[in-house]
Structure 1
Amino acid sequence: MRIALQNIHKHYRDVHANDGIQMEIAEGSIHGILGENGAGKSTLMKILAGFVRKSDGTIALNDQPVEYRGPSQATSLGIGMLYQDPLDFPPLTVLENFMVGRCRGISAKENLHRRQLLEWAKALGFHLNPESRVHELTVGERQQLELLRLLALGVEVLILDEPTTGISSIQRRVLFAALKKLSNQKKTILLVSHKLEDAEALCDRLTVLRSGRVAGEMDRPFDTNRLLSWMFGAMPVQAPCSEARPGRATLIMEGVSGSGGRAGLQACTLSVREGEVVGLAGLAGSGQDIFLRLAAGLNRPRKGTIRIGDEIMTGKDH
């Protein structure tokens, strides 16, 4: 499906979120929409997907102007959007979520849909158990399920909003391989991102938005410096790094375990010294929030010792 966005405007009172955007997306292409936060990327894609109504302008699908009032009408025309937080039902099973929107009764044609789910998942390299509850899945698995559900609804245009946020590097590779397969099947893919490495690895063409306007467009091979200047208005200045001179250990956690989340925090040992900036990395639910609450004295550990300087703070408010 070919898409043309012609003079698209969106106003939120005094904010001009989209300001006369012109864009064409070729059938079967993987087209990236780049820009820093607040550039108007998500607003534009929500307009295309029917979640937000445009203030002015025209959307044309295969050269035919269209108007729709909501996402269900957009889906019926072949456009579906996958958000950072998938629009699923966590208490239901994978199969039940896959069937949502297509069946009057959740048990209607269940075996047919189970077979379809497994066949499509296998074709795209996904591994999903139809009987698993969605609340048991990782963010990447929920994303895979929503992608399959949109395909089952017959969409020809897939919009993905920051799809690599919160997923592992392995799930990223699986997702990108699946999107390339779909592109080869003439599905049109729109990737919304502020990550240049994702866009350059996957996309055929890039459109950069800045302050609600198109700052530039480019086909492969991409010029990273030019893309950065379009995104920020100039090449970002790299500030010199000062030499770190860490002092004595001020926060010491030894063999600390705490409850919460899926798996809690297990036997964590870490020391933080004066003058250090320490980052906690990991997917959502990996225990970062539990760690911080334990370190701040808001929660009490099940096991282990917490010290601030030479003072043992385990079990104390601090």
Structure 2
Amino acid sequence: MAAFDIEISEVGPRDGLQSIQTIMPLEAKKAWIKAEFEAGVPEIEVGSFVPAKLLPQMADTAALVDYARTLEGLTIAALVPNFRGAQNAIDAGAHKISIPLSVSETHSLKNVNRTHDQMIEEVTKIAAYIQSLPKEKQPFFEGSLSTAFGCTIEGPIATQKVTEIAERLMKAGVNEVGLSDTTGYATPNHLVTLIKAVKSAVGEENLTGLHLHNTRGVGLANVVVALENGITTFDASLGGLGGCPFAPGASGNIVTEDLVYMLDSMGLKTGIDLEKLCAVRDIVQKALPQEELYGFLPHAGLPKGYPKGYQTTSS
């Protein structure tokens, strides 16, 4: 896959589907993943390796990883809650695994039933296991700083707590950390403060990715600010599906289609064909007819003359 200015990671098949009651058929998930890949999306989080009894929507994640490996050039990402989940993801063939460590310990106990110390132990075991594998089988390992901007249970999260957990994750052996606005609390000013603080704590090169929600309508504004502060990878969900089932009211990932359009209009290359991307909504809507899909671009359509000549220029 060619290098682009900004990398989009589609998280709908994981974050989007874990938040709804309906179980999307495996074949529909495969069609979704293939269509997004063909639209140029370079990375897709296909699911999470959690017990099916907890999230039956994710029961077929291993099968999805196996299928996605037939799509040459696609980076296959998966979320893992613990060492066992990481083993299963690696055995399945995921290229990238992310473990969520909630900065809010209350949320951590609700989400993965573990304290901060217990999660760091899991991360350390996973990192050691990865290092024991042949280089070609070692996935990229990200430590996700969940609820970094605030928690629906605990409320505001201190910046010092975020940087402390970030440092512990790097010491435990992750390749990099990512900031996650699990609950939709992030605002532009707060985002700048947190990005600068975490980069100062762990190094510029160890924070490149951001997971945002649009719960309160400032998702894309946060993206612009993040771009100005060196973030180059963004998670997004087709149709804005998503949210954490263990964080009440935290609905609404940023919409992949709207994000790509905004980046395109700013002259930033993503490698994604917007028309093909918008067409993927038909696959998802057909499989989930009762779910509402969000997004301004899909409803308004592309501007006349897109992609060239539609922006207003001074004479």
TM (norm. structure 1) is 0.36
Higher strand share goes to which structure? 1
